[in-house]
Structure 1
């Protein structure tokens, strides 16, 4: 997740400038057809550096930049470092002495067991155990949370947090939810093996101590920011929350290094897919539970014992008894890439056994990769399948995810 961004309605790409976009660069369901899109605090910087800006989930964001192709930008991130504008994500501050209890009432995360300054991927769940959204929550301290959730679910997330916190307050609890608007706060992701070294020269935060999924306040290029060691690429990196007025200054300071380039939505999508990370609305939605999505690890041990999160009876039964379908990785050595909704078949019987949810070429591997849901009996890595693309059945195989090794910064 974090990132990763994410609407649930299939929409047509709307190019803002220039009037051209590479077909299939980014999954089309994330583009918005809203008449008025929001500029992020980095809009002028995108145009300055040749960004191909599109209307994405109601925000004007670059698909790519003029200096690199999509695959070149992808590979540059894997070997060096790239900056992604993720200011469209919803940033939320939660305060109050009962904020941990409230947040645990809508997520299966164990906030009370987390250390201050630590972060966790989690999910909002409905009463049937379906995933309302995936998000990253940081426990700043016992009375403060910082939350980053998806742009395409902004309306739903705001409503869900507002309504549930209001009910919680009416019971005499202390919790206050504050949504940051894009005009107030920017968010950038600096991702890649050289990200930490570049950032360290500009920050007073000791990055050796900032391990994966931890977060700190500190100065970046002289600006007070929140830096969280996380990302949506599978690489080491950080997300930096910046006051909107200083977003260009911080980004330009990072770009002074020859090891850093700007990257857009196209590279971000292929990077996250190689990393085996879900895209909301494609790979997960309200019809899918964490168990079916192969995200059972998001259900914290204490929360399983307490059995008091939304949809817990259904999810705990699935953990015990199993499910009929499961999200898996898929690799194809030949043919075009499989796209969303492509039918998956049993290689022996040609019986339909599942559906592709995301797919694209994998520049790091030189093959095509995808995610999808298949019958539980076929989830094992190495299982041979067929994927129907444009009326033709093409061989593919169930593969372990991530497709490329994760390189998160974890101290042993």
Structure 2
């Protein structure tokens, strides 16, 4: 393994007592002194501060970058209002998902945030397939996420303009830490913000937020359990280049304009398969699972329709204990005939089949400000 990259907050993480682990080529905090369980619950009750600077920040400039980007994603971007962002995903020619991302309309350009593990590939993909569009990777800014029910109260003391924002709004706002690129969004199911700040000001901003007694630093461990309770996919686990948007239960993210009969039907990689699955369904489906045991069923657990015998009908892709629910939760793919809510299945753990029930997601209702 080569030398790990470090974010602008690396020294602060160490000073805060973080346990650091390799993640997507970066040395990242997995937990702090509170521990994963308490960090998770604190975010649900107050506010948690996450360093997500490992993710890729990209600006697209040129003649109609939204129309150009529609050639690579099945989302409708040309009608996206200025000051708004949309969840999107790159698809491949076989209808699989190359990565999921956020796309924001900032007037004369698009601001795109991509996953850390896919960052280099995504930027290369855009540069190769968006002729006439300048693809600028932003490397001099950190990215923080402030999440939880008091996130607005905390952040508006420093940046008053954030209070007027609603879910999926974006804005560039003045602050004592320079211009902040803010979105009202996140990866926890809670209300909150993602904040791009100059690397030189990242520590000062983080310390100003942590000075509020409602805010605790939160690591990757709690970030994972929070997003799992919220039913949000982790790229590489729950979606990948073999899973289609329909298999992944992400139909809601494909606007009518890009579907069959829409004003801009198709025109993206894998459209033939994806649009056919909109009409006919897919052979498998991403679902939530509630294990009937105290222990979580983790990624890789095979699923069966009966307690004994039979062929495997699915597999767990993510699983953990859900601290907010005080129960284990999992996400999986199962054959579509077994995907109905309430269906009883069995997960095979260490050679023993244990009961599990198909459940709706999110496991805990989201609290976005709409």
Number of the residue aligned with 1:103? 69
Count of matched residue positions in the alignment of Structure 1 and Structure 2: 365
Q: Structure 2: how far apart are the matches of 1:78 and 1:380? A: 29
Q: Secondary structure at the match of 1:178?
A: strand
Number of the residue aligned with 1:282? 237
Q: Secondary structure at the match of 2:39?
A: helix
Kept in 2, the 8 Å contact 1:330–1:397? The answer is yes
| Alpha-carbon offset, residue 348 of structure 1 | 6.2
Aligned to 2:214, which of 259, 265, 280?
Answer: 259
Kept in 2, the 8 Å contact 1:341–1:356? The answer is yes
| 1:249 matched to 2:204 | yes
Q: TM-score, normalised by structure 2?
A: 0.96
Kept in 2, the 8 Å contact 1:383–1:398? The answer is yes
Q: Structure 1: how far apart are the matches of 2:295 and 2:234? A: 21
Number of the residue aligned with 2:290? 331
Q: Structure 1: how far apart are the matches of 2:196 and 2:245? A: 28
Kept in 1, the 8 Å contact 2:288–2:358? The answer is yes
Equivalences for 1:312-351 in 2 at 5 Å? Answer: 312-347=271-306, 350-351=309-310
Gaps of 5+ in 2: none
Number of the residue aligned with 1:39? 6
| Alpha-carbon offset, residue 349 of structure 1 | 6.2
| Alpha-carbon offset, residue 49 of structure 1 | 0.6
Kept in 2, the 8 Å contact 1:204–1:219? The answer is no
| Alpha-carbon offset, residue 227 of structure 1 | 0.6
Q: Secondary structure at the match of 2:117?
A: helix
Number of the residue aligned with 1:123? 89
| 1:54 matched to 2:21 | yes
Q: Structure 1: how far apart are the matches of 2:42 and 2:284? A: 36
Q: Structure 1: how far apart are the matches of 2:208 and 2:326? A: 34
Q: Structure 2: how far apart are the matches of 1:399 and 1:219? A: 44
Kept in 2, the 8 Å contact 1:282–1:358? The answer is yes
Kept in 1, the 8 Å contact 2:40–2:226? The answer is yes
| Alpha-carbon offset, residue 282 of structure 1 | 0.4
| 1:357 matched to 2:330 | no
| Alpha-carbon offset, residue 50 of structure 1 | 0.5
| 1:177 matched to 2:135 | yes
| Alpha-carbon offset, residue 114 of structure 1 | 1.2
Q: Structure 1: how far apart are the matches of 2:190 and 2:162? A: 19
Kept in 2, the 8 Å contact 1:335–1:394? The answer is no
Number of the residue aligned with 1:153? 118
| 1:162 matched to 2:127 | yes
Number of the residue aligned with 1:10? none
| Alpha-carbon offset, residue 204 of structure 1 | 3.5
Q: Secondary structure at the match of 1:223?
A: coil
User: RMSD value over aligned CA atoms?
Assistant: 1.1
Kept in 2, the 8 Å contact 1:133–1:149? The answer is yes
Residues 378 and 106 of structure 1: CA distance in aligned 2, closer, same or farther (over 3 Å): same
Q: TM-score, normalised by structure 1?
A: 0.87
| Alpha-carbon offset, residue 310 of structure 1 | 1.3
